Structure 1
Amino acid sequence: MIRQLSYMLCFLAAIPAIAQTANSLITKVDRDSIMMGEEIKLQITVDATPQDLIIFPIQQAMGALEVIEDYPVDTIRENDRYRLFKQYGITQFDSGDYYVPRLKLFINNKERFTDSLLVKVREVQTDTTVQGMYDIKPDIENEYERPFNWKGLILLLLWIPLGILFWWLSRKRTQKTYEQTLPPYEWSKYRLNKLAESNLVEDRAWKAYYTELSYIVRRYIDNKVYGHAMESTTAELIQNIERETAAKGVSITDKTKQRLEAVLQKADLIKFAGMSGDGISAKEDREAINDIIYNIHQVLPPPSEEELLLDVKYRKEQARKARIRKILMYVAGVVLGLAIAIAAWIVIVGYDNVKDQIFGNELREYYEGERYTSQYGIPEVTITTPIILERDIDFASDLIPAESANALNAFTAGDLEDDFYIMVATLQLDEESAKKGAEVGASVMISPLLKELEQVGATNITTLDEEIERNGVKGTKVEGSYDRDGDEFKYEAFIYLNGNAVQAIIISTADLEAKSPEQEYGRLLREQIISSIQLNKPQPAKKDQE
């Protein structure tokens, strides 16, 4: 009996040690009674070591309660342990009593469950005897008028004539392609008909008339009889026709050759000697050429199978070249249209704005983009930034001497190698370090910054410091510049001693060339962020706080 009692006492004595080593899990709500639609913040608190793996649940609903906001995990460092806070915003739009069910989370791959909590949702009470009833208010006219999109109109007006030009060129190319695909005999007949329908004879344009007539017959002979008819003289052409027809085993009558020679010689005199013509002989000469082409076509042997294949291959090749030319024409038109549109864009909004829109300007996007106001650290630093800062545990563990701080929280965005970098840090000092004041802040915050600049290859680092004050809190401002990879950067650091805590804000931006102060986006971004800084006084520590 005595031995069993001693075992029980040893077990009870070991319970506190076991409880201290376990991860404590606390579940609470900020209030247990709300009106319909109001938000309740459910908070799960877990104590852990840096080696623990904590996985919080992802919930769309908690029983009959709806999750309207899933807040990010917040962390507080206390000596060698971390305290993790996870909050959920929940609500219900029907009155009644609801239970928040037990939620499952994983701590080092082991399941743990939160406590179940009761919340009450009450109806919104409306007393019509006290609160008067009124008619629905009329619509309020909005005086804002959307500005007319002149840029879109100008671009549209530029594209309309280009579209008309493409349509006209495409239509013209289609007509030429039809004519070029005709066989030589059909083509000559087609062109002779077009010549007869023209007004060249009525206009007494003899040179143009006989130039076209000579071109038709020479091209037909060039395609069917002699391959160099276009550049041969009249005498050479007649001789080569006799030689080529003899080689093919056919002959052309002397009358046909004489008529061809007579028409070509007359055409040469009109084209080169300025001789005039008359309407009757012009018609007779056109009919003579028509008969000459017909006679040559009749005596020529039909094309062999090999010639037909070559002719088909030639047509396909010509069609392929025509398609390529058409595609190139469209591509050139699109490129020309884009060039005209970009040129008009540059004239309207300016070269720098166009360059930033096309190639991007990170600092400008940050300066003109959205803003996020958040609180960081303990005591809190309220600041508005273009991106939300993330906790930087490496900064906290590597650069801060353990003997100088009880708790440090550092939040950063970007790197010192980027065009934009910002860090917000709060450092809780021990009593001995707090007595040294700003000296500790400068050594803890600025010295590691300068060392890190040297590590990333920064050169020509300059620093200037001055005393400042914000929200009744005194501090030191350090600003300067540095070079890296041929680019110049500027930074500003603000260190405040707020009670027993050091609050530091460090901002670094690339110093890009700008034609006017309105385009110095690095400086404008720093000024915008600095003007939003608000320092909160540290809250007095509660007694008996665990």
Structure 2
Amino acid sequence: MVPPLQVVINNKITKTDSFTVVVNNVVVDTLKQQLYDIKPIVSVEEPFNYEWLYWILALLAIAAIGFGLYYFIKNRQDKQNKVEEELFASPIEKALNQLQVLEKKELWQKGETKAYYSELTDITRTYIEEAVEVPAMESTSGELYESLIVAVRQKNIKLNRETLERFKRVMATADLVKFAKSKPLDFEIENDKRIIDSFLMSLDKAIPRTDEEAENQFAEELKRKKEKKQKMQRLAIPLGVMAFLMMIVLTFFLVSKGTTYIRDKWVGHSAKSLLEGEWVTSDYGDPAIIVSTPKVLKRIVDEKTQNNLPAHIKGTAMFSYGSLTDNFSITLKTIAFKDTTQLDISQAAERELRQAELLGAHNMVVQTDDYEDPKGITGKRAQGTFTALNQVTKEEEKMKYMLLVFAQKGGAQILWLISREDDQYAAEVMDKVLDSVELKKAIPND
């Protein structure tokens, strides 16, 4: 009977009529209607997670903005530099610029070694002719070397003999490439380029300069600093913008999803946060274990095991949270028999410990005894420590564990509790889980 309900209409209280609800039982003739077991769990395809796609698209968009900004700044700087007409303040500036242009051509990388050495030596000869005033372009390599020796002595150029000898060897190599079709190795070509760079810089610094020449050299140094600053701007500005955009995306994600989602998916939970959070009480498996846990346990389905069960086993189930090296993890297993078979709990405990070693636990310290809690639940307990490799930090973690095996006619229940040895909050989590354990009786077919 549903009693009258009060309804307010235009500030007047009106009551509805009462009415009767009739529930008819469904008549089932158990002699004619066959009884069936509970249907097994049907596996369904997990829907595609678009979350990673959104992350990838966001990262690609940020990267595209960064690259676009880099090339925009670069093109703007190049135009600005072209507006300032490129007038070389000194022979060394001209030579260094020409060497940079030569490297960008990548002649020797394309197999044009002869052309590369020809340009390299021409740039060097031009500099020597302009800076030292030696007829370098029309001289052979040997004549050029001898002329340099004389000029160094006459003009008081403080250049050591070793630098001159290295320059002489490069010029000789260039002659072999140009006239004898010699083919130096890649590292030899790169080394010759470094020798020429070093020779030109050393010679330029060693030449005595007038005040005007010194001023020109200072202007050249300012230009080099300007180019370095522009390069830093091309990198720093896009990187800064990309970092700022990434912070905006992360902040939006954190606000929209919440810290709990972040910890669940990526960061993980500390034992303290698990202890202080909201717990879930549920029953798992058959015969069921009723237990309170910090998080809902996830069913682990092993199709190979389920499809190859022994004849006397009706079914098995496994549920877990965490992994072997997390702050805290729990694994729960149940076995249901078709008859009144009772599991040997000592052998079951040994099998579980061997399985843990196969999964990566080693240096196991084991202490076994009979277990009975204040509620009268009895079983076998194995506890101690082991070490395992943390797959994230690649370091060995020392863990402590407790394994409980309960057996009854027609079924068995197994409970693993694992935590880091030095985590006091994890110990409290384990105690709280144990206090909540309740076992349901197995119902065999016979």
TM-score range, shorter chain: 0.3 to 0.5
Between 1 and 2, higher relative CO (CA 8 Å, sep ≥ 6) is seen in 2
Normalised by the length of structure 2, the TM-score is 0.37
Which structure has the highest helix share of the two?
Answer: 2
Normalised by the length of structure 1, the TM-score is 0.31
Which structure has the highest strand share of the two?
Answer: 1
